[in-house]
Each structure stands twice: as structure tokens, then as C-alpha cells.
Amino acid sequence: MAQHYVIVGAGECGARAAMALREEGFDGDVTLIGGETHLPYERPPLSKEGMLAEVFAAKTINTAERMAETGVVFRGGAEVSGIDRSTRTLVMGNGTALPYDKLLLATGAAPRRLPDVAGQHIAYLRTLEDAQRLRDVLGPGKRLAIVGGGFIGLELAASARARGAEVVLMEALPRLLSRAVPEAIAAQIQARHELAGVGLVFGDGLAGIEDGASGAIVRLKSGRMIEADLVLVGIGSVPNVGLASAAGLTVDNGIAVDRHLATDDADIFAAGDCCSFPLEIYGGRRVRLESWRNAQDQGALAAKNMLGAGATVGHVPWFWSDQYELTLQIAGLSDEGATTVRRELGDGAVILFHLSADGRLVAASGIGVGNMVAKDIRLAEMLIGRGARPEAGALEDAGVKLKALLAA
């Protein structure tokens, strides 16, 4: 009897895993289950190109034709209500049972919700429908209030200003991107948003949001009130671990997996935004990454390991964000660094290299117009992966090519 591999979650990770199973030569049955009725689509453009394009459309990952051609069965708009590990069966929302031989949980993450706050003018961004709702209120004369100074909020602020909407962004902490990027780069991002006319409010907590006559009224703890047509909440996300937790799988800031992306059930794997895993290049530190690259890499790796490859997670974390003409790229984990070396590339572009106490390069954070930092961040990523200990002076000197350091 043919083996049946099931993937729950049809986002970047799950969709890539389904195709990778075929690319790795698996000839059994593959079922890809998605909660949305849409074909698998890319989420990063929702806050960027999706807001700015003349015609709003999703960028599809797997077409219906490609899935049919490779024999991947896509079940969109389906709900999985439980996992029976003893019989290796999924309990579907409609009461039917779906058996599996191997199972991949690629359930992703969901926007963190504001507690005890509700209103018809409050929005979150995760789905195509969320993005369409936001697009409808972005234009001249419209007012967008954003709660949270993270990447989603900042990307949407840039998109909203490009479309002519007024924007006020509120961050309860003293600066933007406090947990994500070094202060020096956050300062450049802040300056660019201020130049674009985004109103920034720092260090003032949210007291409440209520519906007004024609929109929302945001009340801050200082007593300040901000009126808006819509309030976008971007205060982070939480991993979707409900299925795993109910099935008795270990949860630790996500579904806990080992270096092969296996859970504590040999027949169940987890990958992407929903899982936490040990990174050997950082001494086995357990992390959970929310990024497009990680979802792609882990989807492919999980497929291999479901087939018994025994490959380990070895990639260097990488993330990017586009805001206005600027592109931010980060390789590695900057909080692993003890010292920072700054390299000026000209025209405002800069890369910060983060070194551990023993001189190992552990991260690089860069910002510049377009692709100005892309090549150097890629080379830095390779240096990080090799555990390189380059001289601080060489990193600082833009005349010293990183490719030469890599060769050394």
C-alpha cells in the first residue's frame, strides 16, 4: 500500500514541502491541507507590493496545474480539529478521518491580538482578505493608525504614505524595532519615516480603542486621542501550536523539534513559523524564526527528513524588509554579539558586523537603497556559517572585500 504523507498548513513552508517531497522522489500520496480556500500564496508582498500594485493579486506559490501534475492533493478551506497519534489519523473539522504515515505541521503563526480590545475599525494583517481591507482605506484623505513599531507596522506605514494616506504609528517602547535591529539602524529607519511624514509616538501605552462616528478613536495612557479610519495592530505574532499541544507534543515557544525538525513523535515533524529548534552554529540555542527564507529552507529540509535523510538545520537566519527605497537585511542573530563594527558603504548605506566575545562573526545588519547591501550581507552570511573570526579592522574598512575574507 502506498505511503500517505500529510502536510497541515499551506503557507510558504507547507507548500514548499509538498513539492520538495516530489523532487526528492517520493511516489506515495501527498495531501496538503490549508485553512484558506486560496491556493498557496506568498505572504511578504501583502504589506509591500500588494499594497502598492495597481491591481491587487496574490503571488501564488503552487499553481493548481503544478500540484495536479505532481499528484499533490490540495484541500483548501479545510479544518483539522485533532491528531490521533495512536492510530496516525487526523480528525477533520467535518468529522471525517484522514490517515497519515508521516505528518508535517506547518501551521505558521497568527497575529498577536490586543487583549480586551475590539471594534469594527481594528485590523490585523495575515491573509489576503486582511490585505484587501487595508488597501481599501489607503489613499488621499484617509487616516491610518498603527499600533506597534515592528516590521509589519513600518512596512504598512511606508505603503500607506506612498498611497497618500495620513499615518500615525504608536510604539510603547522608546524606539522602533527594539528587539529586531541595532539602535543605529533603527534610527535611520525612523528618520526615513519622519521624512515621509509619518507621525511617530514613543513611550505612550495604549489605553483603549473605541468606535467613533466615522472610524476609530485611539486613546493613549497620556490622555492623547488619535482619530483614524482604521487601526492596524502589528504587535508581533504567536505560533499556532493548538493541534500539537492537544496531541501531547512538546511545546516550547512553538512546537519543539530537534535538529532534524522531528517532534517527540517519530512520525510527526514541524517546520516554519510554528516551531522552535536548536541552532548548532549558536551552541544549540533554541530559536523560533518568522521569515520567508526560513520557511522555504525548513519546508525543503522537513521533506527530506520525512524520507529519512537525517539532515540537520544548518542555515544562518536571514531576514529582509523593504520600506520606501530602503532595504534592510539581517544575517545571523545580532543579540549574540558582544561588540559591533561599522562599515560605511557610501550613499547612506551601512553594515554593522556583530562579533562574539571570542571574535567570531555572529551577525550582520545592513541598510541601504535598493540592493546596496545585498552582496555583502550574503558574504557575511557565509562567514557566519563558517564560524569565521575576521579582524575588526578588515570588517570596518570598505576597501577590504568580504570575498577576500571568505577566501582566507
* Locus of grid cell 523539534: 257
- Give the pLDDT of residue 204: 96
Q: Is the pLDDT of residue 82 over 90?
A: yes
Q: How far apart are CA 362 and CA 389, in angstroms?
A: 9
- Adjacent-strand bridge partners of 41: 60
Q: What is the pLDDT of residues 299-355, one digit of tens each?
A: 999 999 999 999 999 999 999 999 999 999 999 999 999 999 999 999 999 999 999
- Give the pLDDT of residue 89: 98
Does residue 312 lie in a domain region?
Answer: no
- Give the pLDDT of residue 120: 87
Q: How far apart are CA 314 and CA 281, in angstroms?
A: 7
Tell whether 45 and 86 lie within a shared domain. Answer: yes
Residue 98 near residue 92 (C-beta atoms within 8 A): yes
- Cell triple for 186: 533603527
Tell whether 136 and 192 lie within a shared domain. Answer: yes
Least confident window among 117-121, 234-238, 275-279, 384-388: 117-121
Residue 403 near residue 376 (C-beta atoms within 8 A): no
- Give the pLDDT of residue 2: 85
Q: Is the pLDDT of residue 118 over 80?
A: no
Tell whether 121 and 177 lie within a shared domain. Answer: yes
- Adjacent-strand bridge partners of 285: 279
* Locus of grid cell 510527526: 268
CA angle 144, 146, 147 (to 5 degrees): 155
Q: How far apart are CA 232 and CA 226, in angstroms?
A: 13
Q: Residue 366 maps to which CATH number?
A: 3.30.390.30
- Cell triple for 124: 490585523
Does residue 320 lie in a domain region?
Answer: no
Q: 282, 287, 312: which is closest to 298 by C-alpha?
A: 312
- Give the pLDDT of residue 1: 75
- Cell triple for 206: 495604549
Does residue 378 lie in a domain region?
Answer: yes
Q: How far apart are CA 57 and CA 54, in angstroms?
A: 9
- Give the pLDDT of residue 55: 84
Residue 321 near residue 366 (C-beta atoms within 8 A): no
Tell whether 124 and 222 lie within a shared domain. Answer: yes
Does residue 242 lie in a domain region?
Answer: yes
What value does the CA radius of gyration of the chain take, rounded to a whole number of Å?
A: 22
Task: Write the CA distances from 229 to 47, 131, 167, 199, integer angstroms.
Answer: 18, 15, 10, 15
Task: pLDDT band for 370, please (50, 70, 90 cuts).
Answer: very high
Q: What is the pLDDT of residues 270-308, one digit of tens each?
A: 999 999 999 999 999 999 999 999 999 999 999 999 999
Average pLDDT value for residue range 184-198: 97
pTM of the model: 0.96
CA angle 108, 109, 111 (to 5 degrees): 150
Q: Residue 18 maps to which CATH number?
A: 3.50.50.60
Average pLDDT value for residue range 376-389: 97
Q: How far apart are CA 20 and CA 309, in angstroms?
A: 13
Tell whether 103 and 242 lie within a shared domain. Answer: yes
Q: How far apart are CA 17 and CA 304, in angstroms?
A: 9
Tell whether 177 and 136 lie within a shared domain. Answer: yes
Tell whether 206 and 247 lie within a shared domain. Answer: no
Tell whether 105 and 241 lie within a shared domain. Answer: yes
Tell whether 148 and 248 lie within a shared domain. Answer: no
Tell whether 76 and 57 lie within a shared domain. Answer: yes
Does residue 61 lie in a domain region?
Answer: yes
Average pLDDT value for residue range 155-165: 97
Q: How many domains does the chain have?
A: 3
Last residue of a domain, one of 198, 233, 268: 233
- Cell triple for 231: 487601526
Residue 366 near residue 342 (C-beta atoms within 8 A): no
Share of the chain above pLDDT 90, in %: 93
Q: What's the domain range around 365?
A: 325-407
Tell whether 228 and 257 lie within a shared domain. Answer: no
Q: What is the mean pLDDT of the chain?
A: 96
- Give the pLDDT of residue 268: 98
- Give the pLDDT of residue 116: 78
